[in-house]
Amino acid sequence: MYLANLTWPAIDALPRQTPIIIPIAAVEQHGHHLPVYTDSLLLGEVIRRAEVAAPAQALYAPLQWLGNSDHHIDYPGTLSASPRLYLDLLRNLAENFLAHGFTRLFFLNGHGGNITPAKQAVFELRQKYRDRTDLLLLSAAYWDMAKPEGYVQTDMGHACEWETSMIMALAPNLVVGDPAQLQTVPVHYGFEPAYRGWITKERTPTGHIGQPQFATPEKGEALFALYSAGVVKFIEEIKGWDGHSWL
Protein backbone atom coordinates (compact mmCIF):
# COMPACT_ATOMS: atom_id res chain seq x y z
CA MET A 1 0.00 0.00 0.00
CA TYR A 2 1.21 3.49 -0.83
CA LEU A 3 0.47 6.14 1.78
CA ALA A 4 0.27 8.81 -0.92
CA ASN A 5 -2.67 7.04 -2.59
CA LEU A 6 -4.80 6.64 0.55
CA THR A 7 -7.20 8.93 2.41
CA TRP A 8 -6.54 9.65 6.06
CA PRO A 9 -9.52 7.54 7.19
CA ALA A 10 -8.10 4.60 5.23
CA ILE A 11 -4.74 5.06 6.92
CA ASP A 12 -6.42 5.44 10.31
CA ALA A 13 -8.18 2.11 9.78
CA LEU A 14 -4.89 0.22 9.44
CA PRO A 15 -3.66 -1.91 12.33
CA ARG A 16 -1.00 0.02 14.20
CA GLN A 17 1.32 -3.00 13.87
CA THR A 18 1.38 -2.51 10.09
CA PRO A 19 5.03 -2.21 8.99
CA ILE A 20 5.76 1.36 7.89
CA ILE A 21 8.42 1.49 5.17
CA ILE A 22 10.17 4.86 4.88
CA PRO A 23 12.28 4.84 1.70
CA ILE A 24 15.28 7.21 1.79
CA ALA A 25 17.54 7.88 -1.17
CA ALA A 26 19.42 10.79 -2.77
CA VAL A 27 20.04 13.10 -5.72
CA GLU A 28 23.77 13.22 -6.37
CA GLN A 29 26.44 12.72 -8.99
CA HIS A 30 26.90 9.20 -10.33
CA GLY A 31 29.97 9.54 -12.49
CA HIS A 32 30.01 10.50 -16.16
CA HIS A 33 27.60 7.75 -17.22
CA LEU A 34 24.62 7.63 -14.80
CA PRO A 35 21.98 10.25 -13.88
CA VAL A 36 22.00 12.13 -10.58
CA TYR A 37 18.66 10.50 -9.69
CA THR A 38 20.19 7.00 -9.76
CA ASP A 39 19.76 6.12 -6.08
CA SER A 40 16.14 7.26 -6.06
CA LEU A 41 15.36 5.45 -9.31
CA LEU A 42 16.84 2.19 -8.06
CA LEU A 43 15.20 2.26 -4.64
CA GLY A 44 11.90 3.26 -6.24
CA GLU A 45 12.00 0.20 -8.49
CA VAL A 46 12.90 -2.13 -5.64
CA ILE A 47 9.92 -0.76 -3.70
CA ARG A 48 7.60 -1.01 -6.70
CA ARG A 49 8.42 -4.68 -7.15
CA ALA A 50 8.12 -5.43 -3.46
CA GLU A 51 4.71 -3.75 -3.29
CA VAL A 52 3.47 -5.65 -6.33
CA ALA A 53 4.63 -8.94 -4.79
CA ALA A 54 3.00 -8.25 -1.40
CA PRO A 55 0.66 -5.24 -1.66
CA ALA A 56 -1.08 -5.61 1.71
CA GLN A 57 1.99 -6.39 3.81
CA ALA A 58 3.17 -2.84 4.54
CA LEU A 59 2.48 0.87 4.15
CA TYR A 60 5.06 2.67 2.01
CA ALA A 61 5.74 6.33 2.70
CA PRO A 62 6.68 8.54 -0.27
CA LEU A 63 10.29 8.14 -1.30
CA GLN A 64 12.52 10.79 0.27
CA TRP A 65 14.82 11.94 -2.53
CA LEU A 66 16.86 14.39 -0.42
CA GLY A 67 19.71 12.58 1.26
CA ASN A 68 22.97 13.22 3.07
CA SER A 69 25.30 13.75 0.10
CA ASP A 70 27.75 16.38 1.35
CA HIS A 71 30.68 14.19 0.28
CA HIS A 72 29.53 14.57 -3.35
CA ILE A 73 28.81 18.31 -3.20
CA ASP A 74 31.89 19.18 -5.31
CA TYR A 75 30.04 17.75 -8.33
CA PRO A 76 27.31 19.94 -9.88
CA GLY A 77 23.82 18.48 -9.66
CA THR A 78 24.31 17.01 -6.19
CA LEU A 79 21.63 18.10 -3.72
CA SER A 80 22.28 17.46 -0.04
CA ALA A 81 21.02 17.95 3.48
CA SER A 82 23.94 18.27 5.89
CA PRO A 83 24.41 15.24 8.19
CA ARG A 84 22.90 16.78 11.34
CA LEU A 85 20.02 18.37 9.45
CA TYR A 86 19.33 15.06 7.73
CA LEU A 87 19.41 13.19 11.03
CA ASP A 88 16.78 15.54 12.45
CA LEU A 89 14.68 15.21 9.29
CA LEU A 90 14.59 11.43 9.68
CA ARG A 91 13.81 11.62 13.38
CA ASN A 92 10.93 14.01 12.81
CA LEU A 93 9.59 11.96 9.92
CA ALA A 94 9.55 8.84 12.10
CA GLU A 95 7.88 10.72 14.94
CA ASN A 96 5.01 11.63 12.63
CA PHE A 97 4.21 7.93 12.38
CA LEU A 98 4.73 7.38 16.11
CA ALA A 99 2.31 10.23 16.80
CA HIS A 100 -0.27 8.41 14.67
CA GLY A 101 0.23 5.30 16.77
CA PHE A 102 2.24 3.11 14.40
CA THR A 103 4.83 0.97 16.14
CA ARG A 104 6.96 -0.73 13.45
CA LEU A 105 9.08 1.64 11.39
CA PHE A 106 11.71 0.69 8.84
CA PHE A 107 14.01 3.16 7.08
CA LEU A 108 14.72 1.39 3.78
CA ASN A 109 17.81 3.09 2.42
CA GLY A 110 19.16 3.42 -1.11
CA HIS A 111 22.23 5.64 -0.56
CA GLY A 112 25.47 4.99 1.31
CA GLY A 113 25.65 8.47 2.81
CA ASN A 114 22.35 7.90 4.61
CA ILE A 115 23.54 4.84 6.51
CA THR A 116 25.08 6.57 9.52
CA PRO A 117 22.39 9.26 9.99
CA ALA A 118 19.61 6.68 9.67
CA LYS A 119 21.21 4.40 12.25
CA GLN A 120 21.70 7.35 14.59
CA ALA A 121 18.08 8.46 14.11
CA VAL A 122 16.86 4.98 15.06
CA PHE A 123 19.23 4.91 18.04
CA GLU A 124 18.11 8.31 19.33
CA LEU A 125 14.43 7.51 18.91
CA ARG A 126 14.81 4.31 20.91
CA GLN A 127 16.46 6.22 23.75
CA LYS A 128 13.72 8.84 23.74
CA TYR A 129 10.97 6.21 23.86
CA ARG A 130 12.90 3.81 26.10
CA ASP A 131 9.84 2.95 28.20
CA ARG A 132 7.95 1.67 25.16
CA THR A 133 8.21 -2.09 24.78
CA ASP A 134 6.08 -2.25 21.63
CA LEU A 135 8.35 -0.31 19.27
CA LEU A 136 10.39 -1.84 16.46
CA LEU A 137 12.69 0.78 14.90
CA LEU A 138 14.88 -0.40 12.03
CA SER A 139 17.23 0.84 9.35
CA ALA A 140 18.95 -1.01 6.50
CA ALA A 141 19.91 -0.54 2.86
CA TYR A 142 18.15 -2.56 0.18
CA TRP A 143 21.48 -4.17 -0.70
CA ASP A 144 21.60 -5.57 2.86
CA MET A 145 18.51 -7.62 2.08
CA ALA A 146 20.34 -10.19 -0.09
CA LYS A 147 23.87 -11.15 -1.11
CA PRO A 148 24.48 -11.28 -4.87
CA GLU A 149 26.69 -14.06 -6.20
CA GLY A 150 28.48 -14.42 -9.51
CA TYR A 151 29.42 -10.74 -9.91
CA VAL A 152 32.84 -9.17 -10.26
CA GLN A 153 32.17 -6.89 -7.31
CA THR A 154 31.45 -8.30 -3.86
CA ASP A 155 30.15 -5.07 -2.33
CA MET A 156 28.09 -2.08 -3.41
CA GLY A 157 30.15 0.76 -4.87
CA HIS A 158 28.96 3.94 -6.53
CA ALA A 159 27.85 4.03 -10.17
CA CYS A 160 29.48 0.62 -10.12
CA GLU A 161 28.86 -2.80 -11.69
CA TRP A 162 25.68 -3.24 -9.65
CA GLU A 163 24.14 0.23 -9.94
CA THR A 164 25.09 0.57 -13.60
CA SER A 165 23.57 -2.83 -14.37
CA MET A 166 20.31 -1.87 -12.67
CA ILE A 167 20.02 1.44 -14.53
CA MET A 168 20.80 -0.40 -17.78
CA ALA A 169 17.87 -2.72 -17.01
CA LEU A 170 15.50 -0.01 -15.76
CA ALA A 171 16.25 3.02 -17.94
CA PRO A 172 18.93 2.30 -20.56
CA ASN A 173 18.19 5.63 -22.25
CA LEU A 174 19.69 7.37 -19.20
CA VAL A 175 23.08 5.66 -19.50
CA VAL A 176 25.61 7.97 -21.17
CA GLY A 177 28.32 6.47 -23.35
CA ASP A 178 29.63 2.93 -23.08
CA PRO A 179 30.27 1.80 -19.48
CA ALA A 180 32.47 -0.99 -20.85
CA GLN A 181 35.11 1.67 -21.60
CA LEU A 182 35.30 2.86 -17.98
CA GLN A 183 38.11 1.92 -15.62
CA THR A 184 38.08 0.32 -12.18
CA VAL A 185 38.14 2.67 -9.18
CA PRO A 186 38.91 0.67 -6.00
CA VAL A 187 36.10 0.51 -3.44
CA HIS A 188 38.38 0.29 -0.39
CA TYR A 189 38.76 3.37 1.84
CA GLY A 190 42.40 3.01 2.85
CA PHE A 191 43.73 2.80 6.41
CA GLU A 192 41.28 -0.01 7.14
CA PRO A 193 40.11 -1.29 9.61
CA ALA A 194 39.80 2.32 10.73
CA TYR A 195 37.04 4.44 9.24
CA ARG A 196 38.61 7.33 7.34
CA GLY A 197 36.81 10.62 6.78
CA TRP A 198 36.59 11.24 3.05
CA ILE A 199 35.14 13.28 0.24
CA THR A 200 34.38 11.72 -3.11
CA LYS A 201 36.73 13.73 -5.29
CA GLU A 202 39.79 12.48 -3.41
CA ARG A 203 38.83 8.87 -4.16
CA THR A 204 37.76 9.08 -7.79
CA PRO A 205 38.46 11.49 -10.68
CA THR A 206 35.25 10.60 -12.53
CA GLY A 207 32.81 10.16 -9.64
CA HIS A 208 32.28 6.41 -9.98
CA ILE A 209 33.67 3.89 -7.50
CA GLY A 210 33.80 0.22 -8.46
CA GLN A 211 33.80 -1.64 -11.78
CA PRO A 212 31.01 -0.38 -14.06
CA GLN A 213 32.76 -1.85 -17.12
CA PHE A 214 31.32 -5.25 -16.17
CA ALA A 215 27.70 -4.08 -16.03
CA THR A 216 24.96 -5.65 -18.15
CA PRO A 217 21.17 -5.22 -18.19
CA GLU A 218 20.78 -8.93 -17.44
CA LYS A 219 22.76 -8.50 -14.24
CA GLY A 220 20.59 -5.51 -13.38
CA GLU A 221 17.35 -7.46 -13.80
CA ALA A 222 18.71 -10.24 -11.60
CA LEU A 223 19.70 -7.73 -8.91
CA PHE A 224 16.25 -6.12 -8.90
CA ALA A 225 14.62 -9.53 -8.51
CA LEU A 226 17.02 -10.50 -5.72
CA TYR A 227 16.73 -7.28 -3.74
CA SER A 228 12.95 -6.88 -4.03
CA ALA A 229 12.46 -10.47 -2.86
CA GLY A 230 14.79 -9.75 0.04
CA VAL A 231 12.74 -6.71 1.02
CA VAL A 232 9.51 -8.72 0.94
CA LYS A 233 11.06 -11.41 3.13
CA PHE A 234 12.30 -8.83 5.63
CA ILE A 235 8.88 -7.16 5.81
CA GLU A 236 7.41 -10.57 6.62
CA GLU A 237 9.85 -10.76 9.56
CA ILE A 238 8.72 -7.34 10.76
CA LYS A 239 5.08 -8.34 10.43
CA GLY A 240 5.73 -11.58 12.30
CA TRP A 241 7.37 -9.95 15.32
CA ASP A 242 5.42 -10.79 18.48
CA GLY A 243 5.44 -7.15 19.63
CA HIS A 244 7.62 -7.42 22.71
CA SER A 245 10.53 -9.88 22.52
CA TRP A 246 14.09 -9.03 21.49
CA LEU A 247 14.16 -11.56 18.64
> How confident is the prediction along the chain (247 residues), in pLDDT tens digits per residue?
999 999 999 999 999 999 999 999 999 999 999 999 999 999 999 999 999 999 989 999 999 999 999 999 999 999 999 999 999 999 999 999 999 999 999 999 999 999 999 999 999 999 999 999 999 999 999 999 999 999 999 999 999 999 999 999 999 999 999 999 999 999 988 898 999 999 999 999 999 999 999 999 999 999 999 999 999 999 999 999 999 888 7
Q: Is residue 12 part of a domain?
A: no
Q: Is residue 165 part of a domain?
A: yes
Q: Is residue 161 part of a domain?
A: yes
Residue 198, domain CATH: 3.40.50.10310
Helices (H), 13-82: 38-53
Q: Are 215 and 165 within 8 A, CB to CB?
A: yes
Q: Is residue 5 part of a domain?
A: no
What is the β-pairing status of strands 59-60 and 104-109? unpaired
Burial of 220 per CB tally in 10 Å (0-12, 13-18, 19+):
buried
- Say how far apart CA 228 and CA 230 lie, in whole Å: 5
- Say how far apart CA 157 and CA 42 lie, in whole Å: 14
Q: Are 235 and 202 within 8 A, CB to CB?
A: no
- Look at residue 45 in the predicted model and tell me its pLDDT: 98
- Look at residue 137 in the predicted model and tell me its pLDDT: 98
Name which of 122, 193, 182 is nearest 158 in CA terms: 182
Burial of 142 per CB tally in 10 Å (0-12, 13-18, 19+):
buried
Q: Is residue 9 part of a domain?
A: no
- Look at residue 189 in the predicted model and tell me its pLDDT: 84
Q: Is residue 150 part of a domain?
A: yes
Q: Is residue 4 part of a domain?
A: no
Where are the strands (E) in the chain, listed by range? 20-24, 59-60, 104-109, 136-141
Q: Is residue 188 part of a domain?
A: yes
Could you tell me the residue range of the domain that residue 80 belongs to? 18-240
- Look at residue 188 in the predicted model and tell me its pLDDT: 83
- Look at residue 247 in the predicted model and tell me its pLDDT: 78
Q: Total structural domains in the chain?
A: 1
Sign of CA dihedral 110, 112, 113, 114: positive
